[in-house]
Amino acid sequence: MAKPKVLLIGWDAADWEHINPLLEAGELPTLEKFINGGVMGNLATLEPILSPMLWNSAATGKFADKHGIHGFIEPDPVNGGVRPYTSTSRKVKALWNILSQEGYRSNVVGWWASHPAEPINGCIATNHFTGVQFIPGKGWKVSPGTIHPADRTQFLGRFRVMPQELTEAHILPFIPNAAKINQAEDKRLTTFAKVLSDCATIHAVGTAIMETEPWDFMAIYYDAIDHFSHAFMQYHPPKMPKIKDEDFEMYKDVVVGAYKFHDMMLERLLDLAGPDCITIICSDHGFQSRHMRPDYMPREPAGPAVWHREFGMIAVNGPGIKKDDLIFGASLIDICPTVLSLFGLPIGNDMDGRPLVEIFEQSPEIKKIDSWEDVPGDSGMHPPGTALGQQDSEELMNQFVALGYIEDPGTDKEKAAANADIEAKYNLARQLLWLRRNDEALELAREIVDRRPWENRFLDLLANCCQQAGYYKQAEIIIDKAYAEGGKIPGKMMLIKARALLGLNQFDKALDIFNETEKYSARTPGLHIQLGDLYLRMARFKDAERAYLKAIEIHEDSSLAWQGLSTVYRRAGDNEKTADAALNAVSRIHRSPMAHFNLGVALARSGDPERAEVAFQTALKFRPNMLNAHRWLKALYSTELPNPEKAQEHSRAIRKIRDRRSDIAQPSGKRSFITFDLPEIPNVKERVRILNEERPLPDKNEHKPSGKEFVLVSGLPRSGTSLMMQMLEAGGMPIATDGEREADTDNPKGYYEWEEIKQIAKKPKLLDEEGLDQQAIKAVTMLLPHMPQRHKYKVVFMQRPVEEIAASQYKMIDRLGTEGAKLTEEDLLRGLKQHRLVALNFLKNNKAFDVLEVDYPTLVKSPQDVVPSIVEFLGTDRLPNSDQMAAVVDPSLHRQKS
């Protein structure tokens, strides 16, 4: 048998809702050919819909409570404060660890929380690779741990694509009228360029690795569809009422362009993979479009996740895969078991997913193993105790803040660590609640509210946990206490209260709440689903059917609505409709235990006990304590499928479930009325006040003009900045310098540097010092973006041919006997040009900066011709002795000429 080869491509947020119209229009030819020769289907996401948790579940086949990645950041026990979740945070083996252990070679590019790179059998470029920068004089700055093996670092580092390398040929297919954008006012083009260049970076390094490194398994993750969608889906057709006509016309093509670009990249990946490779394309979630787009953003960390849709996409193509077929009921958690089955490896019993056997032309033999965690051998995981370096951690944190994944944690380490701990537990509790592990979720929710009783989302969580765990009276009390002073209770809390009242058999009160909520949430499918649930409890089957059908009309892919509808038809005794609705539910989300149960009942009643058995067993796989499923199986094994041993097994399960329910019952006989102590819950106004202190809204005065204007001298190292400082000093302008760096052979007249300015990013009030606005400050190009925007700046930017700069840098390195950047001359010149272009574009597109470019060769050759433009730019009041400036220039110091 030929050795298998598998390519796993992650397209974050890719959604058939957006893809299908493009396929019909012939806009995605590569993907169309791919799915016509393979299988496709929806891929159900997990809860909460947060990328680090989701992509690690895809890679491990386990939910977050097992793999240990609970969000974006976690407390840092080594350095204090917080750090990003990384590969050292993951508690279990990922696909590439298992494959390494079994002798397969894996390459991994850009995967969430893959930094620092694990020493696997293969090559890794981590999710920190897009943080690669070019530093003049040092070359490509690649953080330690970004690349494995480390000796590939400089080779792969050069595949970083910078935003300033993008040309109109790259931009116009997305934004045809980009030339009309006033970039000083509109920063959306800058956002676009960052996303596109990062995407191109991942593709460049990924294809380079595919070409130069052998592999059996290749995983490459692209986040661009998600990022483009967050930034531009609001401008996607049809036009949203709140969007201005001019903005809609300018940015309406960006999301379509993103998918077309991914189709082009897919073509290259498939060419490199070859025809013998099995390729899986998948996304972790979808993205809301059309009328389902939200018109608000929750004021909380990861608030943008409100845009995420519960269904992503999957498509598989390759040898042995069915052709032009649909698959149903696939989930993101199934990716790892499916890849293992492609390699003929066993599935861990502790994995939460299943292999998607329906994709195969011939179903493979599925092997089982207790757990891959118990299999000895070198898996390439980091040894216990491995930690990310503090500087590396800070850089990754800054990257997350810049991308909008997290809020800036601030300088208070203790507070930041506490916030991260609460956020991680909040995310974990949400997943446990989604898995119906209600008591475990409730325990976490109580701890969170004890520590943070003033945040509405935590009160929501606690009330919801109480309601789902059966503490209905407690849920009602929490909501009533939170809004004791009256006023409008938020819709989400109202629905929780309605469900609690339903549990207390107060049907009329619950119905009143649903009817009131419907007035302002009529287009919310979840409301109609819950209304259907209420009507079911009241045995009003026609009303329940109408409510579920309304939810389906609004959102056809609502698995919960189809599941509820199947329950209506089961209760009404309509087996055909029950089976049809149940199949619609499980084809969308396989993990729908009640739908499997309903299907089993319909099949059993219709005389199909064998298929009914499978349906009931599937229901119990997802909900082991489903009493009625055990009863039906006991009945089947006692009659149509005689098996006394299995009948006894389900009898024991029934007794165990009954005993457990008896154990948790209190003297009142019902959990429904049990209550427990709560912390003091502040009233609404107080909660808002505390929230504003803890998570303040953007300061409108942050960029309020200070009235100060500073003079900066900038440019690439060895471009003549020290000479310009000398000239300004000779012209009568005071110089900001500490004299710490003494004159030497390379700069015989001194460097004119002020070391403290290098701290401007961390100390934005540095320039508030009295008198600094009257002095010239030398600031390297890397510092320019960190200058506080409340000030104005006059920037004298030194231009010198990069060939001369490179030669001057090499000469200086030789003299000092140090080691420079390990780059070819071609790469060095490319990097210098890129870096200078980055700086100039920033200056020219920012209202706070006014820039004068000074050509160094011309200045040295004819200083008397250049000085007048400098004086005109800075003003005679700053340069009272301008007639002395030209005399400073010593032409003999222009030693490296191009």
Helix (H, G, I), strand (E, B) or coil at 727: helix
User: Would the pLDDT of 450 be above 80?
Assistant: yes
Q: Which two tokens stand for residue 474?
A: 């407690």
Q: 440 versus 696: which is more confidently predicted?
A: 440
Q: In the predicted model, what is the mean pLDDT of residues 678-693?
A: 85
Q: 700 versus 183: which is more confidently predicted?
A: 183
Distance separating alpha carbons of residues 316 and 579, to the nearest angstrom = 28
pLDDT at 194: 93
Query: What dihedral do alpha carbons 728, 734, 737, 739 form, nearest 10°?
Result: 90
Distance separating alpha carbons of residues 89 and 269, to the nearest angstrom = 30
User: Would the pLDDT of 591 be above 60?
Assistant: yes
Q: What is the DSSP letter of 485?
A: T
Element (H, E) at 280: strand 278-282
Helix 525-537 with 507-518: angle, nearest 10 deg: 160
Helix (H, G, I), strand (E, B) or coil at 353: coil
User: Would the pLDDT of 587 be above 90?
Assistant: no
Q: How confident is the model at residue 394 (pLDDT cuts 50, 70, 90)?
A: low
Distance separating alpha carbons of residues 568 and 558, to the nearest angstrom = 16
Distance separating alpha carbons of residues 238 and 257, to the nearest angstrom = 16
Interval 606-659: pLDDT, tens: 999 999 999 999 999 888 989 999 999 999 999 999 999 999 999 999 999 888
Kindly provide the b/e burial profile for residues 767-803, where b requires at least 16 CB atoms within 10 angstroms of the residue's own CB. beeeebbebbbbbbbbbbebbbbbbbbbbbbbbbbbe
Element (H, E) at 439: helix 438-451
pLDDT at 98: 98
For residues 294 and 23, the answer to whether their CB atoms sit within 8 Å is no
Worst-scoring range by mean pLDDT, 460-469, 563-572, 694-703, 822-831? 694-703
Q: How confident is the model at residue 290 (pLDDT cuts 50, 70, 90)?
A: confident
For residues 775 and 735, the answer to whether their CB atoms sit within 8 Å is yes
Q: How confident is the model at residue 748 (pLDDT cuts 50, 70, 90)?
A: low
pLDDT at 808: 67
Q: In the predicted model, what is the mean pLDDT of residues 355-366?
A: 94
Question: What percent of the chain stands above pLDDT 70?
Answer: 89
* Long-range Cβ contact pairs of 496-501 (< 8 A, separation 24 or more): 496/460, 496/463, 496/464, 496/467, 497/463, 498/530, 498/534, 499/467, 499/475, 499/530, 499/533, 500/463, 500/466, 500/467, 500/472, 500/473, 500/475, 500/476, 501/472, 501/476
Distance separating alpha carbons of residues 349 and 360, to the nearest angstrom = 22
Interval 808-861: pLDDT, tens: 665 654 554 444 445 567 767 877 887 788 789 889 888 899 999 999 999 999
Interval 256-278: pLDDT, tens: 999 999 999 999 999 999 999 99
For residues 511 and 534, the answer to whether their CB atoms sit within 8 Å is yes
Q: Which two tokens stand for residue 419?
A: 């916030």
Distance separating alpha carbons of residues 405 and 305, to the nearest angstrom = 10
Distance separating alpha carbons of residues 192 and 229, to the nearest angstrom = 11
Arithmetic mean of pLDDT over the chain: 89
User: Would the pLDDT of 15 be above 60?
Assistant: yes
Kindly provide the b/e burial profile for residues 842-867, where b requires at least 16 CB atoms within 10 angstroms of the residue's own CB. bbebbebbebeebebeebbeebeebb
For residues 739 and 752, the answer to whether their CB atoms sit within 8 Å is no
Q: What is the pTM of this model?
A: 0.80
pLDDT at 832: 81
Interval 148-202: pLDDT, tens: 999 998 899 889 998 888 889 999 999 999 999 988 788 899 899 999 999 999 9
pLDDT at 254: 97
